[in-house]
Each structure stands twice: as C-alpha cells, then as structure tokens.
Amino acid sequence: MKHIYNSEAFRKSGHELIDILADHLTAAQEGKIPVLPWDTPDNQFTFWEKYDLEDGSATTLFKDIIERSIALNHPGYAGHQISPAAPVTALAALVAAFMNNEMGVYEMGAASTAIEKVVINFFAEAIGYDTQADGFMTSGGTLANLTGLLAARSVHAHTDVWQEGHAGQKLAVMVSAEAHYCVDRAARIMGFGEEGILKIETNDSFQMQTEQLDAEFERATEKGLQVIAIVGSACTTSTGSYDDLEAIADFAERRGIWFHVDGAHGGAAIFSEKYKPLTRGIHRADSVVIDCHKMLMTPAIMTALVFKKSKDAYKTFNQKAQYLWKEAAEEEWYNLAKRTFECTKEMMSIKFFCLMQLYGKQGFAEFVETLYDLGKTFAKLIKKRPQLELLTEPECNIVCFRVYNAELDTAENNRINSNIRQNIIESGEFYIVQTTLRNTVYLRTTLMNPFTTESDLEALLLMVNG
C-alpha cells in the first residue's frame, strides 16, 4: 500500500502533469493540435482494451489520454455546451479530488459546505432573489431540474405524494416543445407519464407560445389533470432561444402553480449587465437551475439549484436517515444531504468559489459577453453567404445554420449537411454538431471558446461551403 500513497511519487507525477497540461493549453490555443483526434468508437475501444502501460508511469498514461481526447481550448471547438474550464478551476478540482471531502454531512465537508452557501448566495443575489432564497449545488442540470420539479410536486400536489404515492392524482407539468429532454425525463421519472407532459408549441424563434398557456391549462384541467408546474427555458438547447419569463411568471401566478426556470445554459446571463435582460422575470421563478460547467468556466459537473423560498428546498426529500443527522425535521443548511439527491457529493463549490475570489462577477460577465457577441458576429458572416441559411437570429452563443439548395428536397439537403459536418469533424480543424428541427438538419455551433476569432469563423464557413 505504501507505494500507492507515496507523497514523493505524487509530487513528481504532479509536477510532470502540470507541465503537460500547460503545454497542451498553449498548443490547443494556437491550433497546433487537432481539436478532435477523430477515431471510431470501436477503434478507440480496441486501443484501450489492448493498452499496456509498459513503463509504469502515470505521466505516460495521462499523455495518452490527453492525446486521444477533444481539446476544448482549441479555437475550432464550437460544438457542445461544455466550457473550456478556466485552468485554475482544474487546480481546484485537483484539491477537491485529493481532499475527497464528501458533502452529505457537515463534518465531512466543513469548508466546502460553508463555501457552497456563499456561492448560492452569490447566485441568488444575481437572480434578484431576496434573503429568503436558498439552494445548493448538485451534479448537473438534469438532476437539478428533476430536483426542482420534485420540490414543485411537494408544494403543489393535493396529497402527500412522498407518503402516499400519486393516490389517483393525475399530475402534469407544462413545458416548451423545445425544452431540454431532461425535463420530459424528469416528468416521466416522477410518474406523470406521456399525458402529464404538456408540450407548448414554439414560435418562429423557437420560444414558447405563451399566449397558448391559458387554453392549454383549461384543456388539461378538463381532462382531469392537475398542472403543478411550468418550466421556462433560458435558453433552449438546440437554438439558444430564451422564453418570455415575465409572461410565464404572470401565468404561473394567475394559476397558482410552480414556476421553474431551466437556465442550465443561458442562466449565466444574470451576471452580465448587457445580456441580463434576456432573463427578465427570472427573479419571479420559484426555482432556477444554472450549470457552471456550461457558461461559467468550471469543470463538469456542477449546477446551482436556487429556490426563491428556502423552505421549499427542504420539502423535497422528507426522509429520516438516523446515521447522518439527528433531527430529520430540522432545516439545517449545513447538512446538505437533506436537500440534495446525492448522498456522497464532491466538493464542487470550491471550483466556482475560486473563480469568484480571483476574478469576481466581472469574470463571468466577460465570458458570457464575449461568447454571446461572437454568436452575433457569426450570424452576420453566415448571412453574407447566399448559399447558407441562418435558422434564426441568435440570442446567445448557439448558432444554427445550413447549406441550402432550393432545387433539392429536404431529405437531400439534410444528407448534404450531415456529410459536411462529418467531414468537418474528421478534419480535426473544427468541432461542430448538428440538430434536427422540424424535420430539417441544421449545423449547430455553440461558440464556447472565448479565443475563437472572427477569422476562425470565416475559416469554418470556408470548410462548410468553399
């Protein structure tokens, strides 16, 4: 065992690793390595299945992993919504992994539990909540949305679902047809079934048609459904569209239901004076989800779930666990397992706190503004090219477009765009994704790297259609 827990060996590989990572950062930023070292899943599996660390050095293993992984610091990285982690947060992650404090009970994670409360207060203030607000960090937007909706159910279901199950109630949630699939999944996990997910159609800009809400609500009630919540997207995943949160808040208040905001991607705009107006009305939500690993520069996975009223957060998991805490009924902010889904939870708050301390709110604002501005620049470049069709004016850093030939049918145009994307990602110069909207394939970019320039985007468009 001693050789496994040897501090000198750790020191040596640690220093080597930091050098490798710093070199990787420079090479990626300068575009000297492929953004994605493309390989098929089967080849990748064969490589690792046959892998043999002949020299017994962790440094060699780390190098091999890095070489075969996507490089988010490359200016050609414009695909999914994970941010290049600010390098210092990787150091914070190392501290978190090394200390391995878990966060269920206070004693096991004293510093990070208290830090988490500071981080949540920082979010609550930026949302515009008052001092009644509270919340916690959890492992991802998917889990946070589920947890928010579980709280909604505890507060609004007519019976005590936690004790009695659904007991004949038909519960339902209203959500945009363009919401992230995890909201649909959450509703199904909660047993609402297909009937209990009321998908509201979107307008030409892919925002929820809020003028339909009252009629949908009436129809659902006539069918015997009890609508307990509505989810606003800030913003949607495919197109980056912000729902009208003020209109949704008005509706939720009128109908006396829970208002949840899925701001996993675009909730981060609350930190920017310039883009905060996109989230107008967010302070009226009962719960808000914001991912830190998307638009807030932290490593995956870490999400803030903030409740307008602290009490609501405690209603979700009304359980006793004698070995963890003495009084199940007491609202102890410092015993986080009372409110989170997780039991063991990593010290996620320290990564975000590190950025707060070093760069302040301004650092988050700059990140959001640089990328949202870049989205607008990219849209302008696309519109200059007659062979390209911009799906919709981007509100953020998610931009969808396609090569469009009016003489070809949709299937053929779809095939052409899918092939373009595959060729691009195999080139190693850019990484973009695709999305299918209303049966049409679009090239989808999420501009996540603040060092991607206008000329990088010109080069991408050259690869798209010459």
Binding site for ligand PLP (CB under 6 A): 81, 140-142, 180, 182, 233, 237, 262, 264-265, 291, 303
Q: Which is nearer to ligand PLP, 237 or 335 (CB)?
A: 237
CA 217 to chain centre: 29
Using an 8 Å Cβ cutoff, are 86 and 341 in contact?
Answer: no
CB of 185 to ligand PLP, least distance (A): 10
DSSP state of 431: B
Smallest CA-to-CA distance from 372 within 423, 306, 448, 434 is with 448
CB of 301 to ligand PLP, least distance (A): 6
Q: What angle do CA 283, 285, 286 make, to 5 degrees?
A: 120
CB of 233 to ligand PLP, least distance (A): 6
Q: Which is nearer to ligand PLP, 288 or 464 (CB)?
A: 288
Q: Which is nearer to ligand PLP, 241 or 335 (CB)?
A: 241
Q: Which is nearer to ligand PLP, 108 or 264 (CB)?
A: 264
CB of 271 to ligand PLP, least distance (A): 17
Those residues whose C-beta lies under 8 Å from the C-beta of residue 346, and which sit 6 or more positions away, are 96, 97, 100, 102, 103, 139
CB of 137 to ligand PLP, least distance (A): 12
CB of 355 to ligand PLP, least distance (A): 18
Q: Which is nearer to ligand PLP, 24 or 351 (CB)?
A: 351
Antiparallel, parallel or unpaired: β 433-437 and 388-390: unpaired
**Distance between CA 401 and CA 443 in Å, rounded?**
5
Q: Which is nearer to ligand PLP, 116 or 291 (CB)?
A: 291
**Distance between CA 20 and CA 17 in Å, rounded?**
5
**Distance between CA 461 and CA 388 in Å, rounded?**
9
**Distance between CA 374 and CA 356 in Å, rounded?**
24
Q: Which is nearer to ligand PLP, 262 or 456 (CB)?
A: 262
Q: Which is nearer to ligand PLP, 169 or 237 (CB)?
A: 237
DSSP state of 267: G
Q: What angle do CA 133, 290, 253 make, to 5 degrees?
A: 55
Compute the Cα dihedral for 405, 409, 410, 416 and give only its sign. negative
Residue nearest to ligand PLP (CB): 141
**Distance between CA 365 and CA 166 in Å, rounded?**
43
**Total residue count of the chain as it appears in this document:** 466
CB of 291 to ligand PLP, least distance (A): 5
CB of 416 to ligand PLP, least distance (A): 26
Q: Which is nearer to ligand PLP, 245 or 264 (CB)?
A: 264
Antiparallel, parallel or unpaired: β 171-176 and 226-233: parallel
CB of 370 to ligand PLP, least distance (A): 19
**Distance between CA 204 and CA 201 in Å, rounded?**
10
